Amino acid sequence: MNSRSQILGKLSKFEKPGISSIPSEINDKTIFNVFSDPSTFVDKFTKNFQALNGEIYIVKNLEDAGNELVSIISSLDNKKCLSHTTEVINKLFSINHTLSEIFDILNVDFLDSDIFSTYEVGLTTADFLIARTGSIVLNSLTAGGRRLSVLPPIHIVLAETNQIIPSLDEIFKNDFTSIDWSYATIISGPSRTSDIEKQLVLGAHGPKRLIVILIEN
């Protein structure tokens, strides 16, 4: 008998299926302090995101977003920037030529992580922003795979205000889980550690800076 059937066989002798019905789904409103008024979402997200040491720029439109991005990058020593392609990023690069010159576009040549490692900035989009926790949710399709949002020391997220949801439970309520991604992550602030004497240090292994450019719509 193989290990699988041995383990499952032993467990099955003691299981009690049907003794209780499956507990109702989690409703965050009954458990957490959730903000349900959509007009407060931007404020709440901003406040909670900043509390996690995230940097946020709220802009009126894509054009302003481009200008903000150019000014962020101009203050960096290493200006090597990498992005993937999505509809909104393509649009941004088509209206802002400075950006389209600065940014390299992720493609199969970047499979070698050594080349990847020379980049300072990774630009991605996201799926949701969460007002209650100040988090960003993205997946391997919206964020150009797994490395772009974690390997470069600065991660910049281009998002829109209508992507803000009140709390975590909404992530699992819609199409998000049926999209065929292999990887998704909920990001709450730049990389951090408190492993040395419980003191908070930013930039442990992942991005040292996390920046959101939030376009109002």
Contact map string, positions 60 to 99, toward other proteins, x by CB under 8 A: ------------------------x---------------
Under the criterion CB under 8 A, does residue 166 sit at the interface with other proteins?
no
Nearest to 45 by CA among 170, 59, 54: 54
Among 117, 118, 162, 217, binds other proteins (CB under 8 A): 117
Kindly state the helix (H) or strand (E) to which residue 69 belongs, with its residue range. Answer: helix 62-74
Under the criterion CB under 8 A, does residue 205 sit at the interface with other proteins?
yes
Among 106, 156, 211, 215, binds other proteins (CB under 8 A): 106
Q: Which of residues 26-65 bind other proteins (CB under 8 A)?
A: 26, 28, 30-33
Which C-beta is closer to other proteins: that of 48 or that of 96?
Answer: 48
Determine the interface stretch with other proteins among 61-69, 70-78, 95-103, 162-170 (rule: CB under 8 A): 162-170
Among 13, 37, 75, 175, binds other proteins (CB under 8 A): 13
3-state secondary structure 83-141: ECCCHHHHHHHHHCHHHHHHEEECCHHHHCHHHHCCCCEEEEECCEEECCCCEEEEECC
Using a 10 angstrom Cβ sphere, with 0-12 exposed, 13-18 middle and 19 or more buried, the burial of residue 73 is buried
And the tokens for 159? 């998002």
Nearest to 138 by CA among 82, 210, 66: 210
Among 97, 111, 162, 217, binds other proteins (CB under 8 A): 111
Q: Which of residues 169-188 bind other proteins (CB under 8 A)?
A: 169, 171-173, 177, 180-188
Q: How do strand 135-139 and strand 128-130 relate by DSSP bridges?
A: antiparallel
Among 15, 87, 101, 175, binds other proteins (CB under 8 A): 15
CB of 214 to other proteins, least distance (A): 20
Phi, psi of 151 (to 5 degrees): -80, -45
Determine the interface stretch with other proteins among 37-45, 61-69, 74-82, 101-109 (rule: CB under 8 A): 101-109
Q: At what angle do helices 62-74 and 87-95 cross, to 10 degrees?
A: 70
